[in-house]
Structure 1
Amino acid sequence: MLFIEWLQLVELTGFAPAERAAITAVHSDKYVATLEKLSAISADCGETRIVESAPTYLTGTTSRDASRAAGAVIALVDNVVAASRQREAEAAASSGSSSGSSSTPAGFAICRPPGHHSLPSGAMGFCIFGNVSIAARYAQRQHGLQRVLIFDWDVHHGNGTQDVFESDPDVLFISTHQANAYPGTGKAAEVGVGDGEGATINVPLPGGSGHEAILAAWEVVVEPAARRFKPDIILVSAGYDAHWADPLAGLQFCSATYHALGARVKALADELCGGRLVFLLEGGYDLDALGQSVANTFLGVLGEAPSDAFDRKLLGEEPLEKVQQVLLEAQRIHGL
């Protein structure tokens, strides 16, 4: 995993797997125990089993791997919070302000399995543990960062994350995703329930949407909602399967799109929450596109120019009129 500090990339190693209590803050004890048992059985017999119809596979190392992925995210939260508070202390000592400083830290957990489809009681969609959900609960309980913004830009709706926080007003979940794609959730009318009503914002983009569509969604929905919410930390479910080359869906992002998103979310974190920002890898299944897109996200966060020379004119025309209708509906529903 990578820690971005003082405009440098620093690799963090030696982190521990997530403690069981951090995982069971999101997932049921029964699910965690069953996963451990099945993984141990698979290790003994050397078999791989399908545990969900996506299909999601379980091997002899799955329980351990998923715990380490969650542990990576927790370690990044610890480091980002510690560094941001050090900046705040230094600024206070010098009677200055850390707001907007380009040196405020951010972290990126390059880990698999992904997590945003994982349900409280089961695996789903290649996902075992809900890494971003675990990180959000940990930030709240361990660091007192009560108001957590989760922005999910994966091409698929983060249904597992939504399920965990749908009744929690202190977690604002914003998902941009391809409409009517797997897993079939994420309609605009899904806004949360009970005390959490209004704290779930879904932006289902029509097929063929690309660079212009997602930046319009950022300007019209994501950024205004974040400013109104005033988060203490921002977590990003950074999926890269909305890339035009990815085989699993039908959006048209390119790696420069992720550069633009990385730069925008970093600037917002610097302004709103002391730079506290953690990215978590979700989907992305064309390895060349994935590598280019992750690298361009780093460049955006670091304030460097994008490395993508791809001509977006080679892609299909975006359905911007339909996109505008989606954004107007989101504005209406959420009073933005």
Structure 2
Amino acid sequence: MGHNKEAHPESHFRVPAIVNALEKLELSPKFRGSNVIELETFKSASLDDIASVHTRAYVSGLEKAMDEASQQGIIFIEGSGPTYATVDTFQESLVAAGAGISLIDSVVAQSKISKSPPIGFALIRPPGHHAIPKGPMGFCVFGNIAIAARYAQRVHGLKRVFIIDFDVHHGNGTNDAFYEDPDIFFLSTHQDGSYPGTGKFDEVGHGDGEGTTLNLPLPGGSGDAAMRAIFDEIIVPCAQRFKPDIILVSAGYDAHVLDPLASLQFTTGTYYMLASNIQQLAKDVCGGRCVFFLEGGYNLDSLSYSVADSFRAFLGEPSLASEFDNPAFLHEEPSTRVRQAIQRVKQVHSL
């Protein structure tokens, strides 16, 4: 837990909060045996793995910056941006990326012997979807999901990768990494006008990759009803048309109504629905191969319970959202503006 800055939203309390909730709700291997398998030993990502997405100049520069971090304790590595590093950041970022890669290996192996392989979930930090090829950004150091996508293609021959990003912020790093790649479909829902200001409707890919990037900026206040409609009307038809070999998910839990960094109105139940529906979609289009990657989520209670409810969805058990979600926190969703956004995406992408 050496990558940590006190009072920073992306702190070392995030993953332990999730692990504690999984224990409390009896969703850990201790209670579930072979239904929940923890990968306790796995290799860190190699520098070649990282360089499949990031420039070697960035990777070597970050490694060298660890000397300065060891002297100063904490350094900022994104110019004026919020991304920090400690002496452990480089190694811990390799571990985070390696966890995703190992889950790809495990899910692919299971898919060869089962039509319903288990879902992978990388409980990792630092997160990754803002990290651009040339550097860190927005709390993110290496693009964990992008690195895993390239690994799936290179090592397992899973040529066509479908990425869903439901973090409240646009996954600009993943967007940029595959903007000209026709074999990776990147689909992001995010709050319109939120950090980093990218992810407009007309960002659809370029060159050979035109049409394989889909951005759906949501009006503030969008919540469960919006995401149910988007799943049925946008995500499912896109995946069916693209015919992926694997689905990867940037699972950001900061669109929750209780999260302090934005103003969407997802609930714990919304995340249960997304987890359940994505699991079924993966079974329908790619043999069940699917891995989730933790991205944002900064209210420790809503983060941990929403991840736990995602686990319940994967296990086919009923949601516990009614025990956590409080309808009093919710306002009416901007349904007219949501419908306009959905219709615009349908028009742009011929859905």
Q: Give the TM interval when normalised to the shorter protein.
A: over 0.9
Indicate the residue corresponding to 1:140 in structure 2: 153
Q: Do the aligned partners of 1:73 and 1:280 also contact (CA within 8 Å) in 2?
A: yes
- 2:222 is equivalent to residue 195 of structure 1: no
Q: TM-score, normalised by structure 1?
A: 0.93
- 2:284 is equivalent to residue 284 of structure 1: no
Q: How does 1:110-189 map to 2 (within 5 A)?
A: 110-189=123-202
CA distance in 1, matches of 2:40, 2:82: 31
The secondary structure found in structure 2 opposite 1:267 is helix
Deviates more, 1:110-119 or 1:306-315: 306-315
CA distance in 2, matches of 1:35, 1:260: 38
- Return closer, same or farther for 1:313/1:321 CA change in 2, 3 Å cut-off: farther
- 2:219 is equivalent to residue 206 of structure 1: yes
CA distance in 1, matches of 2:294, 2:191: 18
Indicate the residue corresponding to 1:29 in structure 2: 56
- Once the two structures are TM-superposed, the CA of residue 54 in structure 1 deviates from its matched residue by 3.5
- Once the two structures are TM-superposed, the CA of residue 14 in structure 1 deviates from its matched residue by 1.1
- Once the two structures are TM-superposed, the CA of residue 214 in structure 1 deviates from its matched residue by 1.0
1:255 to 251, 260, 268: 268
Q: Do the aligned partners of 2:250 and 2:292 also contact (CA within 8 Å) in 1?
A: yes
Indicate the residue corresponding to 1:48 in structure 2: 74
CA distance in 2, matches of 1:49, 1:317: 42
Indicate the residue corresponding to 2:345 in structure 1: 330
Q: Do the aligned partners of 1:139 and 1:145 also contact (CA within 8 Å) in 2?
A: yes
Q: Do the aligned partners of 2:221 and 2:265 also contact (CA within 8 Å) in 1?
A: yes
1:121 counterpart letter in structure 2: K
Q: Do the aligned partners of 1:130 and 1:161 also contact (CA within 8 Å) in 2?
A: yes
2:179 counterpart letter in structure 1: E
The secondary structure found in structure 1 opposite 2:113 is helix
2:192 counterpart letter in structure 1: A
Q: Do the aligned partners of 2:257 and 2:329 also contact (CA within 8 Å) in 1?
A: no
The secondary structure found in structure 2 opposite 1:207 is coil
Larger strand share, 1 or 2: 1
CA distance in 1, matches of 2:181, 2:105: 23
- 2:310 is equivalent to residue 297 of structure 1: yes
- Once the two structures are TM-superposed, the CA of residue 10 in structure 1 deviates from its matched residue by 1.0
- Return closer, same or farther for 1:59/1:306 CA change in 2, 3 Å cut-off: same
The secondary structure found in structure 2 opposite 1:327 is helix
Q: How many residues align?
A: 321
Indicate the residue corresponding to 2:3 in structure 1: none
Indicate the residue corresponding to 1:16 in structure 2: 43
CA distance in 2, matches of 1:290, 1:307: 14
1:335 counterpart letter in structure 2: S
2:76 counterpart letter in structure 1: I
Identity of aligned residues (%): 52
CA distance in 2, matches of 1:7, 1:154: 30
Deviation per CA, 1:3-62, whole angstroms, max 9, x where unpaired? 99998111111111101111000000000000000013312x142111223311011000
Indicate the residue corresponding to 1:91 in structure 2: none
Q: Do the aligned partners of 2:172 and 2:199 also contact (CA within 8 Å) in 1?
A: yes
The secondary structure found in structure 1 opposite 2:36 is strand
Q: CA RMSD in A?
A: 1.7
- 2:330 is equivalent to residue 315 of structure 1: yes
Q: Do the aligned partners of 2:68 and 2:75 also contact (CA within 8 Å) in 1?
A: no
Indicate the residue corresponding to 2:86 in structure 1: 59
Instruction: Point out 4+ residue stretches in structure 1 off by more than 4 angstroms.
Output: 1-7
1:315 counterpart letter in structure 2: L
- Once the two structures are TM-superposed, the CA of residue 237 in structure 1 deviates from its matched residue by 0.1
CA distance in 2, matches of 1:330, 1:217: 10
1:270 to 278, 283, 286: 283
1:229 counterpart letter in structure 2: F
1:237 counterpart letter in structure 2: S
Structure 1: segments with no counterpart, 5+ residues: 88-97
Deviates more, 1:251-260 or 1:303-312: 303-312
CA distance in 1, matches of 2:301, 2:89: 25
CA distance in 2, matches of 1:12, 1:277: 16
The secondary structure found in structure 1 opposite 2:77 is strand
Q: Do the aligned partners of 1:173 and 1:200 also contact (CA within 8 Å) in 2?
A: yes
Indicate the residue corresponding to 1:92 in structure 2: none
